[in-house]
C-alpha cells in the first residue's frame, strides 16, 4: 500500500511539473527564434538601406541636364530602355546585372568627361528611359511591364560581375550573327572575359539579317578621292574572315575595317557580306550591334530553355565572378 502511495505521488509530480519544464523550453526556443529572426531582419534592413543609398548622376544627352538618382531607379530605367520587357524574367535579371555592372565600371573608370557619372546615350554608354517615356512606349501594358521589370531588377539589385577583383566591363548587344566576337576583334584590345562564344538561338531570330543597297557613288564615298568608276576595283579590295564576312576594304593606302564601314554605311552591325552587280553593291548584314559580350536575344532564348540569369552571365562573360552584396 505504501509503495502504491509513493508511486501515485511520483506520477502526480511528473504530470504537474514535466509540462512546465517543456513549456519553459518551448518559450526559450520561441525567444531564441524570435531574436534570430529579429537579427536577420535588422541585417536585411541594413543591407536594403545600403542598396537604397547608392546613387548615380545621369546626364540627358539631348539637353545636358544632370539628374541624381538611386542606383535602383537608374538600373530600372536602363533595363527598360535596353531590353524588351516581353523578354523572360531571367534574361531581364541578367540585363539588370549587366547594366548595374557597366554603370559601376563607368563610375570607377571616369569614362564620362562631363560632370555626370553616365549619360543616357546608347552610342556612348547605355540608354535610359524615364517613367513618362515608358508610359508612352508601353501604353496600356505599362502596369504589367513596369511591375515585371521592377521585380527582376529588385531581385538582383547591386549584384555585379568582377574579374581579378575589379569590376568587369559588361558590354552587350542586341543580336549576334550566330556567335559573339572578342573585344580584340572589334576594338583591337583584348579583354579576357570578352571572348568569342556561342550565341544559342540567335540564328533563329527573324531579324538575323537585313539588306542595304548602295549605289556605286555611295559605295566609294568613304574612300577619299575615289570615283564611281572605281567601285569595281574597290570591291576587289575586300578582305573576308573565315565566316565570309567582310573584315576590311582597302583602296590604295587607305584600309577601312568592318567597324569603320558599319559607321559610314549606317549598318546594324559590322558583320556583312557584299555582292557587286550593275546596280551597285548589295550588303547583307547579320545581327544587331557590335557583337561583343552578351547577346540579348540569346539571353532570352537561353532563359526560355531553362537557364538562370547566373548561367547566362557566366556563359557570355566567362571567367568573371558574380558578387552578391
- Residue that wins the pLDDT comparison between 48 and 101: 101
pLDDT for position 144: 98
User: In whole angstroms, what is the distance from residue 274 CA to residue 126 CA?
Assistant: 30
- Residue that wins the pLDDT comparison between 167 and 6: 167
- Residue that wins the pLDDT comparison between 7 and 300: 300
pTM given for the model: 0.83
What average pLDDT does the structure give for the chain?
Answer: 88
The number of residues in the chain equals: 325
Q: Say yes or no to pLDDT of 28 above 60.
A: no
| Neighbouring residues of 283: CB distance < 8 A, sequence distance ≥ 6 | 211, 212, 213, 214, 265, 267, 272, 273, 274
3-state secondary structure of 77: helix
Copy the grid coordinates of residue 16.
504537474
CA max distance for the chain: 129
Mean pLDDT within 34-45: 50
Q: Say yes or no to pLDDT of 299 above 60.
A: yes
User: In whole angstroms, what is the distance from residue 219 CA to residue 200 CA?
Assistant: 33
User: In whole angstroms, what is the distance from residue 276 CA to residue 206 CA?
Assistant: 25
Give residue-wise pLDDT tens across range 172-192: 999 999 999 999 999 999 999
What CA dihedral angle connects 142, 205, 174 and 316, to 10 degrees?
Answer: 110
Q: Say yes or no to pLDDT of 266 above 50.
A: yes
User: In whole angstroms, what is the distance from residue 272 CA to residue 281 CA?
Assistant: 12
Q: What percent of the chain has pLDDT over 90?
A: 78
Mean pLDDT within 262-287: 97
The residues facing 249 across adjacent strands are 238, 256
Amino acid at each position: 500500500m505504501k509503495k502504491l502511495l509513493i508511486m501515485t505521488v511520483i506520477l502526480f509530480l511528473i504530470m504537474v511539473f514535466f509540462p512546465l519544464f517543456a513549456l519553459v523550453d518551448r518559450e526559450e526556443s520561441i525567444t531564441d527564434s524570435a531574436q534570430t529572426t529579429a537579427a536577420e531582419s535588422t541585417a536585411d534592413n541594413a543591407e536594403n538601406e545600403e542598396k537604397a543609398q547608392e546613387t548615380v548622376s545621369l546626364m540627358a544627352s539631348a539637353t545636358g541636364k544632370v539628374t541624381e538618382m538611386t542606383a535602383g531607379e537608374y538600373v530600372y530605367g536602363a533595363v527598360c530602355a535596353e531590353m524588351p520587357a516581353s523578354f523572360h524574367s531571367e534574361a531581364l535579371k541578367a540585363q539588370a546585372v549587366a547594366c548595374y555592372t557597366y554603370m559601376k565600371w563607368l563610375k570607377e573608370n571616369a569614362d564620362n568627361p562631363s560632370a555626370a557619372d553616365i549619360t543616357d546615350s546608347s552610342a556612348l554608354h547605355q540608354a535610359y528611359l524615364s517613367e513618362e517615356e515608358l508610359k508612352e512606349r508601353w501604353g496600356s501594358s505599362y502596369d504589367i511591364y513596369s511591375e515585371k521589370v521592377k521585380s527582376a531588377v529588385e531581385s538582383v539589385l547591386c549584384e555585379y560581375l568582377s574579374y581579378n577583383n575589379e569590376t568587369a566591363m559588361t558590354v552587350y548587344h542586341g543580336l549576334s550573327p550566330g556567335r559573339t566576337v572578342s573585344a580584340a576583334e572589334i576594338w583591337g584590345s583584348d579583354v579576357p572575359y570578352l571572348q568569342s562564344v556561342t550565341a544559342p538561338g540567335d540564328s533563329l531570330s527573324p531579324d538575323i539579317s537585313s539588306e542595304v543597297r548602295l549605289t556605286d557613288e555611295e559605295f566609294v564615298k568613304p574612300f577619299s578621292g575615289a570615283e564611281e568608276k572605281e567601285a569595281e576595283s574597290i570591291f576587289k579590295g575586300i578582305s573576308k574572315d573565315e565566316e565570309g564576312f567582310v573584315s576590311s576594304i582597302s583602296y590604295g593606302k587607305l584600309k577601312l575595317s568592318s567597324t569603320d564601314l558599319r559607321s559610314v554605311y549606317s549598318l546594324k552591325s559590322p558583320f556583312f557580306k557584299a555582292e557587286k552587280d550593275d546596280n551597285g553593291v548589295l550588303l547583307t548584314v547579320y545581327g544587331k550591334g557590335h557583337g561583343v559580350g552578351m547577346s540579348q536575344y540569346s539571353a532570352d532564348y537561353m532563359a526560355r530553355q531553362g537557364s538562370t540569369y547566373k548561367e547566362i552571365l557566366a556563359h557570355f562573360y566567362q571567367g568573371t565572378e558574380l558578387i552578391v552584396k
